[in-house]
């Protein structure tokens, strides 16, 4: 749906927006939504048309400091007017310097330049000061990707500090739970044919747990490569093979499972090669085709950060980059035993940090409790504070900082704070790491 200028102006005057940015290896997309309950819109590169793909490339004009992005960059390079830089995300991830006309450029800075320039499309609709929350989504997140995207986000100089990161899997999850409930009664599929080969993500939810645990299983089919499209489509022989291969994949993925809905995304699904496979996929389920699922999902996720929906409150998404256990400790409050939550399952490992202070009851150790959400047994992790000064019970105040170093590794830092004027701090600092 395209809003007319007057309706859009009225909405911009009344509220802030959430933005979801899909930063892809070859193309990127931008979606936005108003903070009240409405579906996201995706920014088109051509006014009045549904052209959402922004090629993830830059081009530096020859003997000039002018940089172009997206389709303009491709056109300038094709016309011999500049030097094209593609694979921006990969170059930034690998930290490979980019040399253009004997000048060396930081690849992360170039990636940030692309994102910043592409956001000019959004700025034609939504002024920067209206952006209340911003979500960057990419194929997958690991410590290096988090480092790269954190630098990119900082370079954007947005008017908000509410900037977040997530994976495509999580964007898929948030997109799904904002669709009509009958579409996700059971498993949901995303068949992603936007890159070199086909990927299938299957979203599952376990209604027997409380909160309901949701997770996505990714299956890669490297044997099903992108077809080479000609002006008249895919050659008949290749089309038949693609159709048979995709049919076999559908049968494998859906075998013994009830799938409510499936989404087909990516240019690989263009044309009419998937006749028999689509007929099979549509039996007993709803099937949709499009290309802006991730940016819309990121937009929904951004808004959830500030205005949680009922569906999200009842569920926890355990993606690859999520903490999959609750971590806390038993403490005494006002003379009664209680549980102090430190890190909650479902948060992203790179956002998980908690600082607390407490009095050591006795001895020179305390215990952390790790409660997995996957049904495994609860574990107790004893943290020993060697060489801690001996003091009477309840006269040692400790500062505890707990953070995740990755999705599986936890780091605990404990500092001796003493006990007022009675016992000065020894300055001792203890660090320990353990695997979940």
Rounded Cα gap, residues 93 and 135, in angstroms: 19
Q: What is the pLDDT of residue 376?
A: 79
- Phi/psi of residue 135, nearest 5 degrees: -120, 125
Count of Cβ atoms closer than 10 Å to residue 174 Cβ = 26
Given a cut of 80, whether residue 423 has pLDDT beyond it is: yes
In tens, the pLDDT along 27-65 reads 999 999 998 878 999 999 988 788 899 999 999 999 888
CB-CB contact of 299 with 133 (8 Å): no
In tens, the pLDDT along 332-373 reads 888 888 999 999 999 999 999 999 999 998 889 999 999 998
Mean pLDDT of all residues in 385-398: 90
The tokens for 8 are 């859009």
Mean pLDDT of all residues in 80-101: 96
Tell me the pLDDT band of 231, cut-offs 50, 70 and 90.
Answer: low
Tell me the pLDDT band of 235, cut-offs 50, 70 and 90.
Answer: confident
Percent with pLDDT over 70 in the chain: 96
Given a cut of 50, whether residue 5 has pLDDT beyond it is: no
Which DSSP state fits 364? T
Q: What is the pLDDT of residue 46?
A: 87
Mean pLDDT of all residues in 145-153: 96
In tens, the pLDDT along 181-190 reads 999 999 999 9
Q: What is the pLDDT of residue 335?
A: 80
Given a cut of 60, whether residue 108 has pLDDT beyond it is: yes
Spell 392-431 as b/e; 16+ CB within 10 A means b.
eeeebbbebebbbeebeebebebbbbbbeeebeeeeeebe
Q: What is the pLDDT of residue 230?
A: 66
Residue listed under structure tokens 């479902």: 346
Q: What is the pLDDT of residue 310?
A: 94
Dump the DSSP string for 191-234: EE-SSSEEEEEEEEEETTSSSEEEEEEEEEEEEEEPP--BTTBS
Tell me the pLDDT band of 13, cut-offs 50, 70 and 90.
Answer: very low
Higher local confidence (pLDDT), 5 or 167:
167
Mean of pLDDT over the chain: 91
Residue 31 burial (10 A CB sphere; 0-12, 13-18, 19+): buried
Count of Cβ atoms closer than 10 Å to residue 384 Cβ = 11
Q: What is the pLDDT of residue 288?
A: 96
> Parallel, antiparallel, or unpaired: how do β-strands 212-225 and 315-317 relate?
parallel
> Which structural domains are found in the chain, ordered by start?
5-166 (3.30.420.40), 171-317 (3.30.420), 325-435 (2.60.34.10)
Tell me the pLDDT band of 12, cut-offs 50, 70 and 90.
Answer: very low
In tens, the pLDDT along 238-252 reads 889 999 999 999 999
């Amino acid at each position: 749906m395209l809003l007319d200028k007057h309706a859009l102006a009225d909405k911009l005057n009344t509220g802030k927006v959430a933005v979801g940015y899909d930063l892809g290896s070859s193309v990127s997309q931008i979606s936005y939504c108003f903070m009240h309950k409405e579906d996201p819109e995706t920014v088109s590169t051509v006014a009045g048309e549904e052209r959402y793909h922004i090629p993830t490339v830059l081009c530096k004009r020859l003997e000039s400091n002018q940089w172009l992005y997206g389709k303009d960059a491709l056109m300038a390079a094709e016309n011999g007017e500049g030097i094209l830089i593609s694979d921006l995300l990969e170059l930034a991830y690998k930290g490979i310097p980019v040399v253009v006309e004997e000048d060396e450029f930081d690849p992360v800075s170039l990636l940030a330049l692309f994102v910043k320039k592409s956001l000019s499309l959004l700025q034609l609709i939504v002024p920067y000061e209206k952006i209340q929350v911003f979500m960057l989504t990419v194929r997958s997140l690991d410590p290096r990707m988090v480092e790269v995207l954190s630098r990119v986000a900082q370079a954007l100089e947005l008017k908000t500090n509410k900037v977040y990161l997530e994976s495509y899997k999580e964007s898929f999850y948030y997109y799904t739970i904002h669709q009509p409930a009958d579409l996700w009664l059971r498993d949901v599929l995303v068949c992603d044919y936007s890159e070199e080969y086909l990927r299938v993500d299957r979203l599952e939810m376990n209604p027997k747990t409380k909160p309901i645990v949701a997770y996505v299983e990714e299956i890669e089919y490297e044997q099903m490569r992108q077809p080479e499209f000609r002006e008249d489509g895919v050659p008949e022989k290749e089309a038949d093979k693609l159709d048979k291969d995709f049919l076999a994949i559908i049968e494998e993925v859906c075998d013994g499972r009830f799938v409510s809905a499936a989404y087909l995304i990516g240019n690989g699904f263009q044309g009419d090669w998937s006749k028999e496979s689509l007929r099979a996929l549509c039996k007993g389920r709803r099937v949709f085709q499009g290309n802006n699922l991730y940016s819309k999902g990121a937009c929904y996720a951004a808004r959830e950060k500030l205005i949680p929906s009922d569906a999200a409150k009842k569920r926890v998404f355990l993606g690859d980059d999520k903490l999959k256990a609750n971590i806390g400790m038993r403490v005494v409050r006002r003379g009664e035993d209680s549980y102090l939550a430190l890190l909650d399952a479902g948060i992203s490992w790179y956002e998980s940090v908690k600082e607390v202070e407490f009095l050591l009851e006795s001895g020179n150790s305390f215990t952390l409790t790790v409660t997995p959400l996957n049904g495994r047994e609860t574990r107790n992790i004893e943290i020993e504070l060697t060489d801690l000064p001996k003091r009477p019970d309840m006269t040692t105040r400790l500062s505890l900082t707990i953070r995740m170093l990755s999705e599986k590794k936890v780091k605990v830092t404990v500092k001796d704070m003493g006990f007022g004027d009675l016992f000065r701090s020894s300055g001792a600092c203890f660090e320990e790491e353990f695997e979940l």
